[in-house]
Amino acid sequence: MSNDVVRKPLMSGNWKMHHNHFESIQYLQKLAYLLTKEDFAACDVSVHPPFTDIRSVQTLIDADELKVSLGAQHCHWDDKGAFTGEVSPAFLSKLNVQYVICGHSERRELFGETDADVAKKISAIQKYKMTPIVCVGETLAEREAGLTTQKVMGQVRSALDGRSSEQIESMVIAYEPIWAIGTGRTATSSDAQAVIGAIRAQVLEMSGVKAAQSVRLQYGGSVKAANIAELMAQPDIDGALVGGASLDSAEFARIVQFRLHRTP
Ligand code: PGA
């Protein structure tokens, strides 16, 4: 598809259940030291610490006027209520959270999140003017059974269904093959491109050219500094959702600086 819209890459660090609030402060100070004005001009950067760290990280971002965006890993779809242990999107937005991951495969597989839950969360996140990073992806068994397209496109359709073009334009969708998460096995850049290109085609079909050209599509699954440049060279890959390799600030900084790496 010809492309009139320049999509700014987005590198997101999903820390999962790592780094307490002291560690996250140290991490962010180091990351801010390693990244330059040019890096932030070339690439958006979000960090997604555990909930207990968010207030501390927000305070540091504000005080030092850091260009890093604050992200969360999850939220509930209601503003408030009797939901022991859950976190409201309204509370996240009060803390200047800008990106919220939803439907991560660990939430889907370990905590029973369904496509319907994910759809409600997307609406709630957007209601508070935050950006959802919607995760989709297939298991190894599904891949081997030739069901990748069916699974991923089903998740994408459910996430997009009933939304306006404007709502879809501002979303981020992360394709994360489950077999590649935390395993050291990355999809080849051409495999990742094939699925991510198909996601963009699905957006085109459901919402038209503007949404398809604007929506940012990330790849996730064992991304590291050594493979990011090759992934980012693919036409439809607009960034990465990085787990393990984002835990080290120097490695994550090198991922953000992918444009400086020589592509093999
Ligand atoms: P990984 O995790 O980079 O450790 O594979 C990615 C993710 O779960 O978002």
> Ramachandran region of residue 249, left (φ > 0), alpha (ψ -120 to 50) or beta?
alpha
Q: Tell how far the Cα of 129 is from the centroid of ligand 1, in angstroms.
A: 25
pTM attached to this predicted model: 0.96
The domain tally of the chain equals 1
pLDDT class of 186 with cuts at 50, 70, 90:
confident
Q: For residue 5, what pLDDT is reported?
A: 83
Is residue 2 one of the residues assigned to a domain?
Answer: no
pLDDT tens digits for 109-121? 999 999 999 999 9
Query: What would the two tokens of residue 17 be?
Result: 């259940």
Is residue 3 one of the residues assigned to a domain?
Answer: no
Query: How many other C-beta atoms are found inside a 10 Å radius of the C-beta of residue 20?
Result: 12
Is residue 38 one of the residues assigned to a domain?
Answer: yes
Residue 263 DSSP symbol: P
Residue 234 DSSP symbol: S
Query: What would the two tokens of residue 215 be?
Result: 């929506």
pLDDT tens digits for 53-96? 999 999 999 999 999 999 999 999 999 999 999 999 999 999 99
Q: What is the domain extent for residue 84?
A: 10-260
Given 104, 106, 113, 169, the catalytic residue? 104
1 has pLDDT over 80: no
CATH number of the domain enclosing 144: 3.20.20.70
Q: For residue 102, what pLDDT is reported?
A: 97
Q: For residue 2, what pLDDT is reported?
A: 53
Query: How many other C-beta atoms are found inside a 10 Å radius of the C-beta of residue 264?
Result: 8
Is residue 4 one of the residues assigned to a domain?
Answer: no
Q: Tell how far the Cα of 219 is from the centroid of ligand 1, in angstroms.
A: 10
Is residue 139 one of the residues assigned to a domain?
Answer: yes
Is residue 49 one of the residues assigned to a domain?
Answer: yes
Is residue 77 one of the residues assigned to a domain?
Answer: yes
**Radius of gyration from C-alpha coordinates of the chain:** 17
Ligand 1 close to Cβ of residue 174 (< 6 A) = no
| Structural contact between residues 38 and 248, judged by C-beta atoms closer than 8 angstroms | no
